[in-house]
Amino acid sequence: MIPARGYQGRRVGVLGLGRSGLAAARALAAGGAQPVCWDDAEPARAAAAAEGFELGDLTREGAAWEGLAALIVSPGIPHLHPAPHRAVEIAFARGVAVDNDVGLFFRSAATEDWAAFDSPPRIVCVTGSNGKSTTTALIAHILRRAGRKAQMGGNIGRGVLDLDPLEDGETVVLELSSYQIELARALAPDVAVFLNLSPDHLDRHAGLGGYFAAKARLFELGGPERAVIGVDQPEGRFLANRMRENEGDGAPVIAVSARRVEDAGWSVTFRKGFVAERRGGRQVAAVDLRPARALRGAHNWQNAACAYAACRALGLSPRAIEAGLMDFPGLPHRLETVGEAGGVPFVNDSKATNADAAEKALSAFERVRWIAGGVPKAGGIAPLAPLFGRVAKAYLIGQAAPEFAAQLGEVPHEICGDLETAFALAAQEARPGEAVLLAPACASFDQFRDFEARGDAFRALARAWIARHDGRLAAADEEDAR
């Protein structure tokens, strides 16, 4: 845990008692503050009370607000759009500073001990609409693979204040959402990464401009030493231009693009499975990503390119980075190759809960046996029609099955009902060179608790199938030996 600094002996409100809220309360208490906790849900309040925290109804004027120095708000609680939470409104009216756990982290991570360190800790922050988790985990993996101490947290893994106090030479890699960035009163990454932007959370940010502005705060308020920025969209080009300091060399920006970046600065490009680094208009290093099974598809090439750039900014060599890219295991439920049998890979992309995510999964393979369906999203799979030529056959499950069948038209498909039936048919009918792919393009709630449970079920089915296949091969080899 990182003790929260700056509030010793003072009362601090904590609104929202999920993972980040409880971690903030513990960090405040460890730093000598007195947390006053509230959540609109009674079970969350009970959990906080069980840890000995004071409860106070922050949605009402009263004793809970007396002497409150600040209000720490969990990311999911709105503070502006579509409307501020009642407790936030009271804080505004009373002049109480509103912050979040990320702001507390950046105010608290550095300690007096750092002055004695040989190598001060570094902080890398990753944001964007798509690929944040993979890029964050990939950077942390590359660092550890190269022998560097690294922790990972934020919107993935551990909450920012639940991390261990930073040590000499250590790097912390944080995934930060727009919700986490927009309210933080302090942001100070050494390296900040902007991947991409697509419409999301528009009600929370009052439109795409507000959504981008929230993410841009990481760079504008944070003032990173190096800014790794995807520049294939107007927002990325705008942000890169704003961050550039010197005409010519482009510092501190490392521009990342699917196309060749025509400038004299520092850039990393990704195309056709290769990542190439350029400085001063000359290529200085390249990595072939095609053997990296966990980094299939153009979207993962962008993730890899941004991770490469961030690690170069941290001083790693191209060869050290390449080694980490090659053996990165990937994240569960995100184009996760569970295994292979008879030349057929079984790929779990249960996190593909909408058409945009499923598009990236389908684009990563030439020929697929596609398991799709669940609770449908608006538009279904109609936007994926340009990729239907890659589908050897679709196996449809859940509530969306009839709608998806109609949208597939003449593409071979079968309504299977449930995942077990769909998997059995797909595995039996798959031929070498095809992939059995779970990319549902749907929420899971009709048949599963969440996308993780759905992915776990697919993984279990695939492993059982592979074990039976390997057992049959072993039996056949034994028979041939006789």
Residues 89-103: tens digit of each pLDDT: 999 999 999 999 999
Q: Above 90 in pLDDT, residue 251?
A: no
Class of domain 336-473: alpha beta
| CB-based burial label for 363 (10 Å; 0-12, 13-18, 19+) | middle
Q: What is the per-residue pLDDT for 129?
A: 87
| pLDDT range class, residue 32, cuts 50, 70, 90 | very high
Q: What is the per-residue pLDDT for 464?
A: 97
Class of domain 112-326: alpha beta
H-type alpha helices, 292-341 = 298-313, 318-326
Indicate which residues carry an active-site annotation: 132, 155, 201
* Mean pLDDT within 348-373: 94
Q: 384: closest CA among 358, 402, 347?
A: 358
Residues 306-322: tens digit of each pLDDT: 999 999 999 999 999 99
For residues 444 and 432, give the distance between their C-alpha atoms in angstroms, rounded to a whole number.
Answer: 29
Q: What is the per-residue pLDDT for 72?
A: 98
Q: Above 90 in pLDDT, residue 182?
A: yes
- Does the reported pTM lie above 0.85? yes
State the span(s) of the chain assigned CATH 3.40.50.720: 11-99
Q: Above 60 in pLDDT, residue 80?
A: yes
SS3 call for 226: strand
Torsion of Cα atoms, 128 then 176 then 229 then 301, to 10°: -60
Q: 381: closest CA among 361, 448, 299, 421?
A: 361
Residues 325-348: tens digit of each pLDDT: 999 988 899 999 999 999 999 999
Residues 426-482: tens digit of each pLDDT: 999 999 999 999 999 999 999 999 999 999 999 999 999 999 998 765 555 555 555
Half-sphere exposure of 209 (CA within 13 A, CB side): 0
Beta-carbon neighbour count of residue 50 at 10 Å?
8
Binding residue positions for ATP:
128-134
* Percent of the chain's residues with pLDDT above 90: 84
For residues 299 and 358, give the distance between their C-alpha atoms in angstroms, rounded to a whole number.
Answer: 12
State the span(s) of the chain assigned CATH 3.90.190.20: 336-473
Query: Alpha-carbon torsion 348, 270, 365, 360, what sign?
Result: positive
Binding residue positions:
128-134
Q: Which architecture, in CATH terms, is 11-99?
A: 3-Layer(aba) Sandwich (3.40)
State the span(s) of the chain assigned CATH 3.40.1190.10: 112-326
Q: What is the per-residue pLDDT for 202?
A: 82
Q: Which H or E run contains 70?
A: strand 68-73
* Mean pLDDT within 97-113: 95
- Kindly report the backbone phi and psi dihedral angles of residue 154, in degrees, each rounded to the nearest multiple of 5, phi listed first: 95, -120
Q: 397: closest CA among 367, 363, 435, 371?
A: 371
